[in-house]
Amino acid sequence: MRNRITNKDLYARVEMINKLTKSPEESYTTDENGKYTASPGNFHIDGAYGGVRLVRICPDGHGTYIISGPYTTKRGLYIWMGAYIQGLSFRK
């Protein structure tokens, strides 16, 4: 078993969460003029202060809201997302 949790590990779990919730897989898209537009409902990783957390883009596409709580370690978020995925898989 590996000891280190990498960004690749976190992104794989985020991808699974987006698929389970039928949310957009890309956080932002560009139009024909090159303007970025947020993808409402997309889950992604936010990082600051040496930590990470799971956030989701608001339904109106203006901002994000926190899903997993305060910034934590990659390992802590990896474990948290595993529980979140387990919960999502039980819903009907």
3-55 pLDDT tens trace:
899 999 999 999 999 999 999 999 998 888 888 889 999 999 999 999 999 99
Contact 6, 73 (CB under 8 A): no
| Residue 1 maps to a domain | no
- The span from the first CA to the last CA of the chain, in angstroms, equals 32
| Residue 2 maps to a domain | no
| Residue 28 maps to a domain | yes
Helix or strand (DSSP H, E) at 42: none
| Per-residue pLDDT tens digits for 51-67 | 999 999 999 988 999 99
Range of the domain at 37: 7-90
| Residue 49 maps to a domain | yes
Total domain count, the chain: 1
